Amino acid sequence: MGESKRQKLDEEERKITVIAHPNIALIKYWGKASETEMIPLNDSISLTIDLFNAKTTLTAKRIDDGEGVDDTVSVNGTNLALSTRFNRVFNSVRDRLGVQWSFTVTSSTNFPVAAGLASSAAGFAAIAFALGKAFDLPDEDIERWARYGSGSASRSVLSGLVQWKKGDRNTESHVVSHFPSSHWPDLRLIILVAKEEEKAVSSKEGMERTARTSALLQDRIRRNSERIQGIINSFAAHDFPTMAELIMRDSNEMHAVCLDSYPPIQYLNSTSWSIINLVHSFNSESVRAAYTFDAGPNACIFILNEHVEEFQTLVSSTFSNGEFVDKKNMFVSTLGQGPRIHK
């Protein structure tokens, strides 16, 4: 193929495959100051989960002026109806590029979608990263597009202990990584999948309801900077008990403001509560595990490698109907990296 033909083709179509991991927040994002610009009411801080990922192929096709755009997204073989969020991301990319492109996204995840495992975080981080790399654009664009898709996704575009600083305006909201994942190699995450159903109240709806109706939310927001700093300091010092207590208190508090919303929102079920009680009994002599729950009943347990086996045995024997067996609803992971190009 002649050089000029190759160049033209290259300009007309770009294809890239990337991998991104979901993240789990130690201090959670709950409530937005702006849904249009995706500005949160409080800072949040998270780590990515190595074992789970979204693998995403983006094909971008150059189209002529006047030709309508035709974006498609399929996740695990199902074509999605494109929500405002996808349109916001794709339109923002087109604005940035100044010329017309259509985007085709094909994504597959190796974990249950919409079961409280922040699948949208991995999915939108992958899409944003693929768009940024396909067009060789800077990290600020990648994190903004991830955020436009789903707030928590902006934390999956970096690796390590990542803080999403809320900022007051679109241009100020941004993410920073305080430590690489390798800072705490013994830290593990155990994911306990309580049920694989679509959740009844989405995070978007839940946050909107809480921000509109919960008086307790203001109290939660006041404590935010102190808690974030507490996580950064305890992670820096490998101080597991201090970090664990902050994680559990923050999760409990997020679910408390959900219950304080009107009508109340309940994400935890009886299995979630059994796990909470089990962790506190496991911690009766010293704090060795911490639970946290997103907008769903699944638990994520922070624990040091040396205690993983004992904890897994306790879980399997407590839920004696075989609800949680290693690799069946119970997954042990190390901390993950940020997104990367899949060769």
Name which of residues 224 to 283 contact ligand DP6 (CB under 6 A): none
**Site membership for ligand DP6, residue 39 (CB under 6 A):** no
CA atoms within 13 A on the CB side of 100: 9
How far is the first Cα of the chain from the last one, in angstroms, to the nearest whole number? 23
CB nearer to ligand DP6: pick between 251 and 312? 251
Among residues 41, 39, 29, 44, the alpha carbon closest in space to that of 212 is found at: 41
Query: What are the tokens at 287?
Result: 């704090």
CB nearer to ligand DP6: pick between 195 and 342? 195
Instruction: For the CB of residue 46, give the shortest distance to ligand DP6 in the complex, in Å.
Output: 7
Among residues 149, 125, 156, 170, the alpha carbon closest in space to that of 34 is found at: 170
CA 171 to chain centre: 21
Omega before 241 cis (within 30°)? no
Query: What are the tokens at 206?
Result: 């839940």
Instruction: For the CB of residue 35, give the shortest distance to ligand DP6 in the complex, in Å.
Output: 8
Binding marks (x or -) toward ligand DP6, 165..204, rule CB under 6 A? --------------------------------------xx
In the complex, which residue's CB is closest to ligand DP6?
A: 151
Instruction: For the CB of residue 281, give the shortest distance to ligand DP6 in the complex, in Å.
Output: 25
Instruction: For the CB of residue 89, give the shortest distance to ligand DP6 in the complex, in Å.
Output: 12
**Site membership for ligand DP6, residue 148 (CB under 6 A):** no
**Site membership for ligand DP6, residue 331 (CB under 6 A):** no
**Site membership for ligand DP6, residue 292 (CB under 6 A):** no
Member of 22, 31, 151, 160 binding ligand DP6 (CB under 6 A): 151
Instruction: For the CB of residue 293, give the shortest distance to ligand DP6 in the complex, in Å.
Output: 8
Specify the 3-state DSSP secondary structure of 321. coil
**Site membership for ligand DP6, residue 118 (CB under 6 A):** yes
**Site membership for ligand DP6, residue 44 (CB under 6 A):** yes
Give the pairing type, strands 72-75 and 78-79.
Answer: antiparallel
Q: What are 273-279's contacts with CB under 8 Å, separation 24+?
A: 274/318, 274/319, 275/192, 275/194, 275/299, 275/301, 275/315, 278/314, 278/315, 278/318, 279/248
Q: Which residues bind ligand DP6 (CB under 6 A)?
A: 25, 28-30, 44, 118, 120, 150-152, 203-204, 207, 294-295
